């Protein structure tokens, strides 16, 4: 099911996601610069109610097994959501992406065509179904300590103005 789109606007990939219960009218894709081969290709950022850009997801390059088509896959997540929203972005003719959502099904967990987090490792292969806390996720170290306090400063996403996109 298509739930949004991203297009090139003023040199940036900007768009929207909307479902019956989620409305993200301003999202952006920020390229991730990393030497880690497991790092995501893009961070998904959204304009929050305070008009600041916040990260709400990450996207990895994946490849369809049957056709070899390359697409972006990942999750949108926020404390306000009951669970992560699995998404895939497919290139369109205008150079942007169509955003699709799909609920994981028994078929997908049995090796079918789903691409949700429970059955796809975002690196082009099947997932083990377990999270290994000791494995490098590609995101680097956490900024939160064991008690939830910030352990180091994060770089600001931007000035917070609607027209001043900070990525």
133 found inside a domain: no
53 found inside a domain: yes
98 found inside a domain: yes
118 found inside a domain: no
**What backbone torsions phi and psi does residue 112 show, to the nearest 5 degrees?**
-80, -150
135 found inside a domain: no
> What is the tens place of the pLDDT at every residue in 126-140?
333 333 334 444 444
Whether the pTM exceeds 0.85: the reply is no
CA atoms within 13 Å, Cβ hemisphere of 109 = 6
Average pLDDT over residues 106-129: 43
* Token duo for residue 129: 């179904």
Q: What is the pLDDT of residue 113?
A: 45
74 found inside a domain: yes
156 found inside a domain: no
62 found inside a domain: yes
State yes or no: pLDDT of 43 exceeds 60: yes
More confident residue, 152 or 101: 101
CA distance 28 to 165: 9
Q: How many domains does the chain have?
A: 1
Mean pLDDT for the chain?
Answer: 75
Determine the structural domain holding residue 58 and report its residue range.
2-109
Q: What is the dihedral of CA 78, 79, 82, 85, to 10 degrees?
A: 10
């Amino acid at each position: 099911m298509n739930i949004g789109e991203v297009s090139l606007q003023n040199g940036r990939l900007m768009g929207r996601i909307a479902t019956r219960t989620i409305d993200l009218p301003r999202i952006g894709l920020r390229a991730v610069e990393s030497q880690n081969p497991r790092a995501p290709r893009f961070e998904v950022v959204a304009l929050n109610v305070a008009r600041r850009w916040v990260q709400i997801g990450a996207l990895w390059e994946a490849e369809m097994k049957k056709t070899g088509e390359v697409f972006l896959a990942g999750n949108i997540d926020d404390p306000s959501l009951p669970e992560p929203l699995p998404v895939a972005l497919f290139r369109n003719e205008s150079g942007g992406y169509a955003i699709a959502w799909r609920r994981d099904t028994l078929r997908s967990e049995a090796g079918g065509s789903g691409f949700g987090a429970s059955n796809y490792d975002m690196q082009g292969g099947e997932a083990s179904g377990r999270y290994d806390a000791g494995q490098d996720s590609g995101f680097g170290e956490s900024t939160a300590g064991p008690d939830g306090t910030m352990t180091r400063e994060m770089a600001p996403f931007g000035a917070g103005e609607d027209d001043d996109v900070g990525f």
